[in-house]
Amino acid sequence: MNVSINFECRPGYVSKNGTIPLTLRITLNRKNNYLNLGRKISVDQYDPKLKRIKPGTKGYTQINSFIRRQEVKVDNIIDELERTDQAITFKKIKDVYRGITGKIQTNDFYEYVEGELEREKEETQIKESTLRGYRNQIDILKGFQSKLTIHEIDEEFLGKLKKYLMPKYAANTQYHVFSFLRKYTLRLHKSGEIKKYPFTNFTVGQPELVEVSYLEPEEITKLHDLYDSKELLRHIKKATSKHAQDFHIGARYQSTLQQALVACYCGLRHSDVKTLRKEHIQNGYIVKAMEKDRLGKKKTVRIPIKARLLSLLNLDEKSDLLFEQPVQENGTTNNYLKEILKIAGIDKHVTFHGFRHTFAINSLLLGLKIEVVSDILGHSELTTTQRYARVVDRLREKEMDKWDSFNDLRTLDGQRQELISKINQLDESQIENLLGQVDELLLGKSK
């Protein structure tokens, strides 16, 4: 087997604080695999062309010494696998290197999960938002049992946990806690750390459908008309004290509405609209690698640019930017949208992400195939898109309910005709008497 070991960082894996993990490129039969060494350096310390640490950078000698030691470790692992006639695979090399073959280093469930989360984060298999969610679920579990070993998690434990969660947390929170537990106990079971899988006879269930906030077609039109009218540009934010000045916020409102409508017509997320540039406009399409999905992977989408979307993009400007102003942070954007919807007379709470929901739901209502909508949204799984289809189904059911009132209308019409027939049979004095009673009744109500 042809095996080679080389030091190589991957510049595409830069974290928010400007660091990249140290990695070894292990090539097995001409296939490259990357082993994370558990340390990070500043991206400025690495030369991607020469694939080495830049001389003269802080800690240059120590970093190179560490890398050489890790190369020797991996080389020894491969030699041992060859000596014992074991199949040489990257997974086996990685497992031996990390010392996770045999027993795990701790029986503490929380420590085990934290270690797994750090590993997944290093390998960019997990989003920051998912990490925050998992850590929140750890906090909930600690509220139930502050110390927990991997062997304590059995069916009895799950039953007690369910009784604890039910009065305290919403159904979806309970679902996420059990899903989190299921993920890591399954991993422990498959690795042989726990003998019995606790979820064999325990049903997690499905998350409840949360009502999705979105805009109706007439509301979209109202907002687009508001944007075209440029009325928002006249808005001024009044100073809150005599020492401050009035702020012309209209331009920010106008640009925020422009960006939200773009999301409404193509389904991009806030993070993707924020990084949208002219380079992504190619032959009548938006061609863009979307921000990482829940598995930490990027997916390139190709979105046809139609008339409404085209009218919102500043393609004629010399600037590389497509919008009149930079896209604000998510919280600021949502605050602006709240005011814009109020100005437009739309009594709904719709966030920027709600404009992505709007695209999905209205696309399905217009008859676009769910596979096409899923592809444009950049969903890795069709099941993610199907929740929008369920919303559309509920809308259809609501509209079809109108047929249930059809017989009621016929009954009311029959009663009205019967009343007219009876009135026609009255003589003049009887009609005057009836009208007098009606007048008295109305006068009594007015008092």
Q: What is the pLDDT of residue 336?
A: 94
pLDDT tens track for 73-120: 899 888 888 888 888 888 888 878 876 444 455 688 998 898 788 777
Tell me, yes or no, if the pTM score tops 0.85: no
- 411 plus 273 within the same structural domain: no
User: 84 in a domain, yes or no?
Assistant: yes
User: 206 in a domain, yes or no?
Assistant: no
Q: What is the pLDDT of residue 40?
A: 83
Given a cut of 70, whether residue 154 has pLDDT beyond it is yes
Q: What is the pLDDT of residue 1?
A: 66
Q: pLDDT: is 74 or 11 the higher one?
A: 74
User: 198 in a domain, yes or no?
Assistant: no
User: 200 in a domain, yes or no?
Assistant: no
Which pairs with CB-CB distance under 8 Å and at least 24 residues apart come from 157-165? 157/198, 158/198, 158/199, 158/202, 159/202, 165/140
> Hunting for tokens 């949204």 — which residue is that?
377
- 266 plus 361 within the same structural domain: yes
DSSP 21-84: EEEEEEEETTEEEEEEEEEEEEGGGEETTTTEEPTTSTTHHHHHHHHHHHHHHHHHHHHHHHHT
- 376 plus 426 within the same structural domain: no
- 162 plus 124 within the same structural domain: yes
- 94 plus 120 within the same structural domain: no
- 69 plus 118 within the same structural domain: no
Q: What is the pLDDT of residue 102?
A: 45
| Spatial separation of the C-alpha atoms in residues 423 and 421, rounded to whole Å | 6
Q: What is the pLDDT of residue 353?
A: 94
- 370 plus 279 within the same structural domain: yes
CATH value at residue 305 = 1.10.443.10
User: 312 in a domain, yes or no?
Assistant: yes
User: 391 in a domain, yes or no?
Assistant: no
User: 209 in a domain, yes or no?
Assistant: no
pLDDT tens track for 288-335: 987 655 445 568 899 999 999 999 998 876 777 789 899 999 899 999
- 314 plus 267 within the same structural domain: yes
- 268 plus 140 within the same structural domain: no
- 258 plus 323 within the same structural domain: yes
- 231 plus 367 within the same structural domain: yes
> Dmax over Cα atoms in the chain, in whole Å?
118
Give the chain's mean pLDDT: 84
Domain C-terminal end among 98, 133, 148: 98
User: 394 in a domain, yes or no?
Assistant: no
Contact predicate 274/351, CB 8 Å:
no
| Dihedral sign from CA coordinates of 303, 308, 309, 310 | positive
Number of domains, the chain: 4
Which residues constitute the domain of residue 321?
Answer: 217-380
- 261 plus 162 within the same structural domain: no
